[in-house]
Structure 1
Amino acid sequence: MNIKIIGVGRLKEKYLKQGIEEYAKRLSKFAKFEIVEVPDEKAPEQLSEAEMIQVKDKEGQRILDKIKDREYVFVLAINGKERSSEELAAEIDQLATYGHSDITFVIGGSLGTADAVNKRANAAISFGRFTLPHQLMRLVLTEQVYRAYMINAGSPYHK
């Protein structure tokens, strides 16, 4: 199984990097795990709607360049489907059973993801209506993927 997280922008915060590294190490027993960072598009604070679309499209192309045809793609989106940890675990297990051994999660930039990325995605997933920094979301997502594998292994970790 190959699990990849594509995130826009560089992760700078040491404490987030350490948390991700810990879960990545734990995950390595179950899957090949990698995080791919794509550069964020520099933009002024105040953007017109057209400029926002342009920024998302540029970041979106960078994301799409990192996705192969065979990958099953989840895009993280506020309007995506919320899942419990158990539901995500079951979905990952089912994907593996039916030949999807390459799973990619996409975390867009601060403006979200481009339409082209959303169209490429096989599913949209939401972690609720909270707005979280996308750097923190990498840690939360990595932990939830690890938790999914622990649930599928019948481990007491999830309790």
Structure 2
Amino acid sequence: MNIKLVVVGKLKEKYFAAAIAEYQKRLSRFCKVKMIEVRDEKAPESLSSAEMEQVQAKEGDRILAKVSEREYVFALAINGTERTSEAFAQQIKDLTTYGHSDLTFIIGGSLGLAPAVLKRADDQLSFGKFTLPHQLMRVVLCEQIYRAFMINSNSPYHK
């Protein structure tokens, strides 16, 4: 099984990088994990709606260039579906059971994901209505993917 995270922007904080590396190491017994960073667009604080759409579209093009047709894609979106950890684990188990061995998770930039990315996604996943820094969201996502594998292997980790 292959898990890919396509994320906008560079991870600068060493402590987030260390946490992600730890989860990637833990996940290595279950799957291959790959983190792909795409360049973010400069986005000053005061952008018009049209400028915001342009930024999203440019980042979206970079994201979509990293996604193949056969991948099952989760877009992280605030308006996506919230799940429990157990339901997420079951979904991953079901997907792999029915032939989806390449799962891709997309985390957009500070302005969110372009409509084209949301359209390409097979599912939209929400971690709630909170706004979290994108770097921290990477850590949270990696932990939840690891938790899902631990739940599916009947490990006590998730309790």
* CA RMSD, Structure 1 to Structure 2 (Å): 0.4
1:102-141 superposed matches below 5 A: 102-141=102-141
The residue matched to 1:35 in structure 2 has which SS? Answer: strand
Structure 2 letter corresponding to 1:136: L
Identity value in percent = 67
Structure 2 letter corresponding to 1:62: R
Greater displacement, 42-51 / 20-29: 42-51
Specify the alignment match of 2:30 in structure 1.
30
Which 4+ stretches in 1 moved above 4 angstroms?
Answer: none
Specify the alignment match of 1:56 in structure 2.
56
Specify the alignment match of 1:96 in structure 2.
96
Specify the alignment match of 1:156 in structure 2.
156
Gaps of 5+ in 2: none
Specify the alignment match of 2:69 in structure 1.
69
The residue matched to 1:11 in structure 2 has which SS? Answer: coil
TM-score (norm 1): 0.99
Does residue 8 (structure 1) correspond to residue 1 (structure 2)? The answer is no
Structure 2 letter corresponding to 1:78: I
Number of equivalenced pairs: 159
The residue matched to 2:52 in structure 1 has which SS? Answer: helix
Q: CA shift at 1:92, angstroms?
A: 0.3
Determine the C-alpha separation between the residues in 1 that align with 2:131 and 2:44.
Answer: 20
Gaps of 5+ in 1: none
Determine the C-alpha separation between the residues in 2 that align with 1:145 and 1:61.
Answer: 25
Specify the alignment match of 1:80 in structure 2.
80
Determine the C-alpha separation between the residues in 1 that align with 2:78 and 2:68.
Answer: 24
Determine the C-alpha separation between the residues in 1 that align with 2:78 and 2:20.
Answer: 22
Determine the C-alpha separation between the residues in 1 that align with 2:33 and 2:85.
Answer: 19
